[in-house]
Amino acid sequence: MKSKPDFERLQMLYEENATQFRFFLTWRQVLLAGYFAVIAALALGFEWAVTRAPDLTFACPLAGACVSVLFWALDYRNRELYHHASVVGAGLEEAMGHVELGYYGTYQKIKNSRWRHSRLLKTFYLASGAAMLIISIITLFVRIPITAAGG
């Protein structure tokens, strides 16, 4: 077992690491919420373009495709940071002699499961971006018919 001053120092580092880990996970939530907000705004822009500027309907889905790649890249970078924090946390748990109780040690064991959040979000961002790119290309060549409301 570590001496009391060493253990206290490790505990302080562990608490700071936990704060950083939560910070990065919070940023992941903020990124996902931001993505939905931007896509919602682009959807409203698309609706506006269909009725008022049909030649520009391709621009909103094209912007959505670019935004999807950007948010995927931001999520990828954020994922690197919280994975690093989890590795450090697992090392601190081991140094404190509490591997069996440690959150990060458990996280390290399950982080490579088949249906992890990282894989799902990557698929979501990139598939959404691909779909919007296809819609953008289609709207370059096909004009969307405008029908009267209620008809």
Q: Is residue 149 part of a domain?
A: no
| Predicted TM-score (pTM) of this structure | 0.82
DSSP assignments along 40-98, one per residue: HHHHHHHHHHHHH-GGGTTHHHHHHHHHHHHHHHHHHHHHHHHHHHHHHHHHHHHHHT-
Q: Is residue 99 part of a domain?
A: yes
pLDDT at 121: 93
Q: Return per-residue pLDDT of the chain as tens, 151 residues.
A: 556 778 889 889 999 999 999 999 999 999 999 999 999 999 999 999 999 999 999 999 999 999 999 999 999 999 999 989 988 998 888 888 877 677 787 776 766 666 678 889 999 999 999 999 999 999 999 887 776 554 4
Q: Is residue 41 part of a domain?
A: yes
Q: Which two tokens stand for residue 148?
A: 């009267």
Q: Is residue 64 part of a domain?
A: yes
Q: Are 126 and 68 spatial neighbours (Cβ–Cβ below 8 Å)? A: yes
- In which domain, by residue range, is 39 found? 4-141
**Tokens 């822009």 map to which residue?**
45
Structurally, the chain folds into a number of domains equal to 1
Q: Is residue 148 part of a domain?
A: no
Nearest to 128, CA basis, from 47, 55, 32, 50: 32
Q: Is residue 97 part of a domain?
A: yes
pLDDT at 1: 53
